[in-house]
Amino acid sequence: MSLLFNGSKAVDVVTTALETGLLDALEPGPVSLRDLAARFGMQPLRLYKFLDCLESLGFLERDEPGDDINDTTYRAVRGLRAAAAAAVGPDSIERDRDTYPWRRLHGRLAESLRGEVSLTEDEFSWPPKDEEQTEAFERSMSVGLGPVLDTLDRHADRLWPGRRRFLDVGGGAGRLAAHVLGKAPELRADVYNLPAVGPLVEETRKRCGHPDRLGFVGGDFFAEPLPAGYDALAFVRVLHDWPTRDARMLVRKAFDALPPGGLLLICEEFRTPDRLAMQFFWSYFLIGADSAVSRLREVEFYTGLLAETGFTDVEVLPGVWELVVAHKPR
């Protein structure tokens, strides 16, 4: 709780450690206070206290052999630099999230919980209500796609050979579809999304390495069946946006749209304690937006739903976020 209360100072410490380059020296470690102070032109006693702050966050191992603090050696836990860059670096997801008007609810949560304070439609609507919101939202989504792209890359040899046409349902501005094309030379990919997102997908198409193989299909998955003619469909961070009855309906529409042998992919932050923590911003912010459900479900919900719907060979492939794959029976 003490760390929580001092959270903004902890962010200051981590940002400073990243920006000064201290983390680059600490992660390979062990490195002595003497060497660190000399290398970074810092005062040893001040740096000692600074490193205590980092240690209190669980990020450092320290060996303090004697009376002279200069002999103290440190090593950062593995992966700290990358984790710090992801959380507080210039392209971090958190910095992007911070641009949303969360302050509207800050300090007024009790009123918000009673329904007396909400985000206005101008502040946030789900789905986004105009061009400006669409662009801001899809940009945020693209920033956070890294874990999904890693997982897809890891399993590319298994997913794409023999597949011809891929539809990324609710596929944002097309970053994922464009990325997949780089790993699957035989594939054509379309993004299915609300018509308002079309121009953003077009931008992605023009900038990507395979513009002739990327397309856009405008539509509303609540208003119509999913388009047929694709032998692979994906829901990436789409199903958790909706109540369970809608998630079921979308999986059913995917089943109906796929040909026999067709492949369905589902990837999102399946609920675990860590991922719920990563989702903290949206859980908090969306308290004030009733149209957005934000429902992280355990992976077993989806494997069960796929089997119930009639899919076979349902598997959970490992990754930063797992990938659920399933086939429509032949």
Ligand X SMILES: C[S@@+](CC[C@H](N)C(=O)[O-])C[C@H]1O[C@@H](n2cnc3c(N)ncnc32)[C@H](O)[C@@H]1O
Give the binding range for ligand X (CB under 6 A) out of 64-72, 151-159, 231-239, 301-309. 231-239
Min dist CB 213 to ligand X, Å, is 18
Pick the closer one to ligand X by CB: 77 or 293.
Answer: 293
Cα distances from 297 to residues 246, 278, 301, 325, in angstroms, run 14, 14, 6, 16
Q: Is 172 in the site for ligand X (CB under 6 A)?
A: yes
Q: Is 266 in the site for ligand X (CB under 6 A)?
A: no
Give the binding range for ligand X (CB under 6 A) out of 68-76, 109-117, 232-240, 275-283. 232-240
Cα distances from 28 to residues 33, 57, 73, 75, 220, in angstroms, run 14, 18, 12, 7, 50
How far is 278 from 272, CA to CA, in rounded Å?
Answer: 10
Q: Is 171 in the site for ligand X (CB under 6 A)?
A: yes
Q: Give the CB-nearest residue to ligand X.
A: 170
Q: Is 217 in the site for ligand X (CB under 6 A)?
A: no
How far is 213 from 12, CA to CA, in rounded Å?
Answer: 44
Angle ∠(303,306,309) on CA atoms, nearest 5? 150
Q: Is 220 in the site for ligand X (CB under 6 A)?
A: yes
The closest of 250, 243, 201, 261 to 226, measured between CA atoms, is 250
* Residue matched to tokens 């470690």: 29
Give the binding range for ligand X (CB under 6 A) out of 54-62, 230-238, 289-297, 308-316. 230-238
Collapse the DSSP code of 312 into the 3-class scheme (helix H, G, I; strand E, B; otherwise coil) and give the result: strand
The closest of 187, 147, 154, 176 to 270, measured between CA atoms, is 147
Q: Is 215 in the site for ligand X (CB under 6 A)?
A: no
Give the binding range for ligand X (CB under 6 A) out of 51-59, 167-175, 202-210, 283-291. 167-175
> What part of residues 116-155 is at the interface with ligand X (CB under 6 A)?
127, 138, 141, 145
Q: Is 236 in the site for ligand X (CB under 6 A)?
A: yes
Min dist CB 197 to ligand X, Å, is 5
Cross-strand pairs, 190: 167, 215
Pick the closer one to ligand X by CB: 37 or 292.
Answer: 292
Point out which residues bind ligand X (CB under 6 A): 127, 138, 141, 145, 170-172, 193-194, 197, 220-222, 236-238, 241
